Amino acid sequence: MQSTLAFPEIIKLLFLAIGLIFVTHLVIYLLKRMWHKSQCKLVWTPISVVDRRSNLSYDDFLQEYASVGKPVIITDAMKDWAAMKKWTFDFFKSECGGIECVVKKDNMKTEAVMTIADYIDYITVSNSDRRLYLANWFISYHPKLLEDFKEPIYFPNWLQRLPRNLLRKYELDNPELFIGHKDTSVGFHKDPNNGSAWLGMIRGSKQIVLFTPDQEEFLYDGRVNVFNPDLDKFPMYVKTTPVEVILKSGEILYIPPNWWHHVKNLEDSIALGSLLLNEWNSELFFQSFLEKVPIKGHLLPLVLEFPWIGKVLFTIGVI
């Protein structure tokens, strides 16, 4: 007579199978990490002009831009976004007017907390000489806005694997909305944690000046006003070779890791941007995060590979 497995034995086998699958996945993950670490280095390509591309395939983007650390403007990646028609100053005043947001000055220091409606009035009505910018507003706080755009195929973002509350806690939530009037700027900077980024222009236009990572020693930690540099105060800036672009409505700029950039609104503007973590900067990102929060930095790669672990650790307060 053929014997059948008892229920407890079936449960044991099930857990054994699950454990084996997890261990196999973990080994593959560790091997991948070892390979990525061996390949990890900051790569960039010096340029004299930023390419403008349309009908750019994902493979060509990876080969010609992401893998060699080279910025590019993609002119047709936003054409199907509802935001291109809907997102106006009047739209944000009526749909999001009661939401409070932080507004900043050109030095990126917090100036005030205002409602969206008050800020739109400041832009469109006020004659104030204050230079206030609504920068870094995470639109996930107003989920309906998330329906009005599509993540461009060129920019897979591993950060989206993490719980939204965890991203907010560590200021890694994306994408971010930028609304500002003419001549305002978020300041001269490079994006945090060795992240790359994209910036999409909804309304208006921006002047953007870019610098390769090897010029950092001449940039005085971003204290230079690139649009009117004081060479007496910052004499080494004269050694830089900036590359300037004008980003127009409907265009997206890709900014590789550690490229310094200064962005100024040429008109009253609305833009959307996102910090990126993916295979082209992952180990650099992990190292940067590790230097800031060592224990949690060690956990970040693990929770990205196994998001359920991140949810458990966040729930119990470990991260």
SS (H, E, C) 228-256: CCCCCCCHHHHHCCCEEEEEECCCEEEEC
Pairing of strands 72-74, 243-248: unpaired
pLDDT band at 40 (very low <50, low <70, confident <90, very high): low
For helices 307-315 and 294-305, give the axis angle rounded to 10 degrees: 130
User: Higher confidence at residue 100 or residue 4?
Assistant: 100
Sheet strands side by side (includes 176-180): 51-53, 72-74, 252-255, 196-203, 269-276, 176-180, 133-138, 100-104, 110-115
Pairing of strands 133-138, 176-180: antiparallel
Task: Identify the pLDDT of residue 272.
Answer: 96
Span of 117-121, 135-139, 188-192, 220-224 with lowest mean pLDDT: 135-139
Query: Across-strand partners of 178?
Result: 271
Task: Identify the pLDDT of residue 224.
Answer: 95
113-141 pLDDT per residue, tens: 889 999 999 888 766 566 788 887 888 87
User: Higher confidence at residue 231 or residue 103?
Assistant: 231
CA atoms within 13 A on the CB side of 187: 19
Backbone φ and ψ for 272, nearest 5 degrees, come out as -130, 135
pTM: 0.86
Whether the pLDDT of residue 290 is over 90: the answer is no
Span of 50-64, 119-133, 146-160, 243-257 with lowest mean pLDDT: 119-133
Average pLDDT over the chain, rounded to an integer: 86
295-307 pLDDT per residue, tens: 777 788 877 777 7
Q: Residue range 285-291: average pLDDT?
A: 83
- Spatial CA neighbour of 250 closest among 62, 87, 60, 51: 87
All domains of the chain in start order, with CATH = 43-208+244-286 (2.60.120.650)
DSSP string for 94-150: HHHTT-EEEEE-TT--EEEEEEHHHHHHHHHT-------EEEEEEGGGSGGGGGG--
Q: Which two tokens mark 206? A: 């921006």
pLDDT band at 1 (very low <50, low <70, confident <90, very high): very low
Instruction: Give dist(CA 44, CA 68) in Å, integer.
Output: 6
Task: Identify the pLDDT of residue 45.
Answer: 95
